[in-house]
Amino acid sequence: MTEPKVYYYSYDIGAYKLSELKELLGEARYAYCSNMKSESAALNSAYAFILLRYALAKEYGITDIPEFNHGDHGKPFLKDFPNIYFSMSHCAGKVVCAVADVPVGTDIQDIRKINLRAAGHFLTPDELEKVSIITDESQRTKELCRLWCIKESHSKMTGIGFGEGFASYAADDLINSGIASVTEKDGCFISVCV
């Protein structure tokens, strides 16, 4: 499988308590989620992990609870399956997971207002100029979220994160070169990079 398999799940954040998901998470992931700042953050992370488990079982027949190691920049990888790549992301009540035989990154981004001044930290000068002239605020918001989502998924693919300098490359260049794809679903953008 060279094309990534992408899984999406939307859930009711109040349907379960973290403790009720412990068996699906295993001790290590349960401890990780338990240390998060809020129950909703813990549940988002838990559901992303459960979706990863589902994807690994469906695509690779892996049913054991996965254990992670981490790369130089903190990107997790599967301890027992280093040639299987994955990426997880979540926002309020929604999770996405991608698995592949090549490095992969995915992001899900709620469509919500992003300060244009803050956008200057992750947009190229050309992107910032194009976004700045969009007069309809809802369209500007959508475009900022779309660009952020693409760049975030790329940083997850490379494993470097925000330190790679989001403003040093254009999101649409990633789309046009076939490295990234992006779609809008349920009030969010979902991007995948390979």
The reported pLDDT for the residue numbered 163 is 64
pLDDT tens readout for residues 41-100:
999 999 999 999 999 999 999 999 999 999 888 889 999 999 999 999 999 899 999 999
The CATH number of the domain holding residue 165 is: 3.90.470.20
Rounded CA gap, 165 and 178, in Å? 20
3-class SS at 48?
A: helix
Of the residues 71, 101, 131, the one at which a domain ends: 101
In terms of residue numbers, what domain contains 12? Answer: 5-101
Domain co-membership, 90 together with 151:
no
Q: Name the average pLDDT for the chain.
A: 93
What is this structure's pTM? Answer: 0.93
The reported pLDDT for the residue numbered 73 is 84
The reported pLDDT for the residue numbered 41 is 93
Domain co-membership, 76 together with 123:
no
Q: Which stretches of 19-136 are DSSP H helices?
A: 22-34, 39-60, 116-119, 125-132
3-class SS at 78?
A: strand
Rounded CA gap, 44 and 163, in Å? 24
pLDDT tens readout for residues 111-121:
998 888 888 88
Structure tokens at 17: 């308590």
Rounded CA gap, 161 and 163, in Å? 5
Domain co-membership, 73 together with 139:
no
Q: If you count them, how many residues does the chain have?
A: 194
Number of domains in the chain: 2
Domain co-membership, 22 together with 58:
yes
